[in-house]
A and B are shown apart, each in its own frame.
Chain A
Amino acid sequence: MDILNALVAFLNFVFIPAAAYGAQLALGALGVTLIYAILRFSNFAHGDTMAFGTAITILVTWGLQSLGVSLGPLPTALLALPVGIAATAVLVLGTDRAVYRFYRAQRAAPIIFVMASVGVMFVMNGLTRLLIGVDEQRFDDGARFIIAVRDFREWSGLAEGLALRSTQALTVVVTAIVCAALFWFLNRTKSGKAMRAYSDNEDLALLSGIDPERVVRLTWIIAAALMTIAGVLYGLDKSFRPFNYFQILLPIFAAAIVGGLGNPVGAIAGGFLVAFSEVAVTYPWVKVAGYLFPGWQPGGLLQLLGTEYKFAVSFVILIVVLLFRPTGLFSGKSV
């Protein structure tokens, strides 16, 4: 019984939240890594573009809700998602034409691209705030729980409760589908192979007749889809506030770099690694330990770091990886 209690407490407070958060980071990191592989720069505007796509999706969701449209137990935002992706794709393609294409033609150094993307970040930042404001918005509807705490306790008779929110399950399922689709696209289709070829060697790809501008456009569209989906899932699961999307940039980059920049498998692994580290390091293990070792009375909470230092965990991971394994766990490109 005690072992079951320990397991349930672990699932409820560590595994489920970290898995959902990890899936959100993985999607974000996939976008970053894709842009890095093909356009060859770190896109600092990633978080704020996620916020923009989410904001559009929220506005459309509200429109649908006022029309009385709903998806039953699923959130209405899923219906609005394609509109959000389309709008974001238009925005990033416009940004590419207005900003990045100029530097690409000049074959500018990557650091110049990065700085340009910081500028783009600030513009997107303002754009999102003009669109939807700075306040917190909630737009989740449909069923809140798949497993509610009270029901679980009654069903199992355990002291610990287990909650599984529908948004958490949705996040993991959608992430799995998106990842599968992306890998199928990259490995099986002609356009996907063209993108990989361009990523491996730009000049060789040019010689074999691949249109670079088309590859770039395709990359942006896929990245826009990844960003919007990641943003909407994050907003559904937690809450939408533009500033939080700026903050999430750090764990996303940590995830992409840990996995190896430019390596899609690495991005996914990195996302989960960062999420699980953040949650596990700031979780007080006293309760779980109490169930596993009933005779042991630890003095403290068995918490390695206070929850205020959650973001510091990504920093530490980032620094350690950059120092000892700059190409990441799955050998991407070195930064």
Chain B
Amino acid sequence: MKRLLLATAAGALLAGAAGAEEIKMGMSLGFTGPLESMAPGMAAGAELAMKEVSESGLLLDGSTVVPVQGDSTCTDAAAATATVERLITAEGVRGIVGGMCSGETIASLQNVAVPNGVVMISPSATSPALSTIDDNGLFFRTSPSDARQGEIMAEIMMEKGVQNAAVTYTNNDYGKGLADAFAAAFQEKGGTVTVNAAHDDGKADYSAEVAALAAAGGDALVVAGYVDQGGSGIVRAALDTGAFDRFVFPDGMVGQALVDNFGSEIDGSFGQNPAAEGEGRDKFLAMAEEAGFDGTSAYSAEAYDAAALMLLSMAAAKSSDPNVWKNSVMDVANAPGEQILPGDLAKALEIINGGGDVDYVGASAVEMVEPGESAGTFREVSFENGEMTVVGYR
């Protein structure tokens, strides 16, 4: 029996050290739930990177990459935990692109990924709580923390001369994190937050919430909610009662749905969401079009980058063991080294295999800051004449 175990262990070691293997990569995304319209674009982005690497034949002596999808539901932490558990223990994935929403990501990371030593790179979980979480170096994200978004939002508001504002947020990890980060940044810049109150999604009527916000007053109302949920309800009630006519919209609200819902009623409002510009993004959009999906879909580019970062880190660490390659992620993502855009993954693998250094830029201009999250570029938008226009990037 002992000999058999030894033989198996030796065999496993051999297989790990040399020769091509089939590397399974998990995806824990909310294919059902409140953000289900975004998940297919994200999965397509991640799979595009995996296919590119797999077909190059340059990863760890010609290993192939197989994607495995799992449904994180976005809102149900127990379901997401079960999904990640399955990906790790039953499928034996070597890394996970996910989760999608902050609360669900925190739960599956703490309960499954960290105890099992598997890396998760989230394309879209933005809660500041994930910056300080105890993750053994196993968690990264290619999207910026909302703490950063809070600063950017405060900056834009100050430039527009909004000195005091009321804040309402959707009652979950994302909303609370963003609202608190914003309030801190805004006050630091000399602004006044008149009230910082939660609203629950899925209510029929938000007039009571808006009455409270109106009583506190302010030049503008910051709505850190979801456009398909209570966020729009708040804006509707605020417009109807005349409580506010100027709004500031963070990423959960910026979308075509907002324009469809309110048209020119929200003229003079503004907002921002994470989105990069530049050569990498253009290249990714072209590749996405060729592959038959919409690359502009929210967080699709970030998902591509998450998958690409994982695979390049494996190559750099010369191992598919997450506990080994987790240490290479920051090196691969940042300077020094040759800049890598989407579609250049084969070139990147060649450089790495030849002992060189790469600086992964990717589709969303990845620049990782400690503790393993994107520094982030934001797109500033404004609403005029019933239309949303992009003002610039910062």
A interface residues, Cβ below 8 angstroms from B: 12-14, 17, 21, 136, 144-145, 149-150, 152-153, 161-163, 165, 234, 237-241, 243-244, 248, 278-279, 282-287, 301, 303, 306-308, 310
> Is B214 an interface residue when CB atoms closer than 8 A count as contact?
yes
Q: Is the CB of B216 within 8 A of A301?
A: yes
- Which residues B197-228 have CB closer than 8 A to chain A? 197-200, 202-205, 207-209, 211-212, 214-217
Min distance, Cβ A129 to any Cβ of chain B, angstroms: 14
> Is B195 an interface residue when CB atoms closer than 8 A count as contact?
yes
Residue of A nearest to B208 (CB): A307
Residue of A nearest to B203 (CB): A244
Q: Is the CB of B208 within 8 A of A310?
A: yes
Q: Is the CB of A163 within 8 A of B216?
A: no
| B contact residues around A136 at 8 Å (CB) | 202
> Is B8 an interface residue when CB atoms closer than 8 A count as contact?
no
Q: Is the CB of B208 within 8 A of A163?
A: no
Residue of B nearest to A150 (CB): B242
Q: Which of A153, A244, A282 contacts B212 (CB 8 A)?
A: A282
29 contacting pairs across A/B (C-beta < 8 A): A12-B241, A13-B211, A13-B214, A14-B211, A17-B208, A144-B240, A149-B241, A153-B242, A237-B205, A238-B205, A240-B204, A241-B202, A243-B202, A244-B202, A244-B204, A248-B204, A279-B211, A282-B211, A282-B212, A283-B208, A283-B212, A284-B216, A285-B215, A286-B215, A301-B212, A306-B197, A307-B197, A307-B208, A307-B209
Give Cα A21–Cα B200 distance, bound, in whole angstroms.
Answer: 19
Give Cα A93–Cα B155 distance, bound, in whole angstroms.
Answer: 62
Assuming the contacts A12-B242, A161-B242, asked whether A284 and B215 have C-beta atoms less than 8 A apart, the reply is: yes
Q: Is the CB of A149 within 8 A of B209?
A: no
| A contact residues around B198 at 8 Å (CB) | 308
Min distance, Cβ B32 to any Cβ of chain A, angstroms: 13
Given A238-B204, A307-B197, A308-B200, 14 other A-B residues pairs in contact with their CB atoms under 8 A:
A13-B211, A17-B205, A144-B240, A149-B242, A161-B241, A163-B240, A239-B233, A243-B202, A279-B208, A282-B211, A283-B215, A284-B215, A301-B215, A303-B212
Give Cα A105–Cα B192 distance, bound, in whole angstroms.
Answer: 67
Assuming the contacts A307-B209, A308-B200, asked whether A163 and B241 have C-beta atoms less than 8 A apart, the reply is: yes
Give Cα A153–Cα B204 distance, bound, in whole angstroms.
Answer: 27
Which of B207, B212, B214, B216 is packed against the most chain A CB atoms within 10 Å? B207
| A contact residues around B240 at 8 Å (CB) | 144-145, 149, 163, 165
| A contact residues around B215 at 8 Å (CB) | 13, 283-287, 301, 303
Q: Which of B171, B197, B199, B216 contacts A286 (CB 8 A)?
A: B216
| A contact residues around B205 at 8 Å (CB) | 17, 21, 237-239
Give Cα A36–Cα B386 distance, bound, in whole angstroms.
Answer: 51
| B contact residues around A165 at 8 Å (CB) | 240
| B contact residues around A239 at 8 Å (CB) | 204-205, 233
Residue of B nearest to A289 (CB): B215
Min distance, Cβ A293 to any Cβ of chain B, angstroms: 15
| A contact residues around B202 at 8 Å (CB) | 136, 241, 243-244
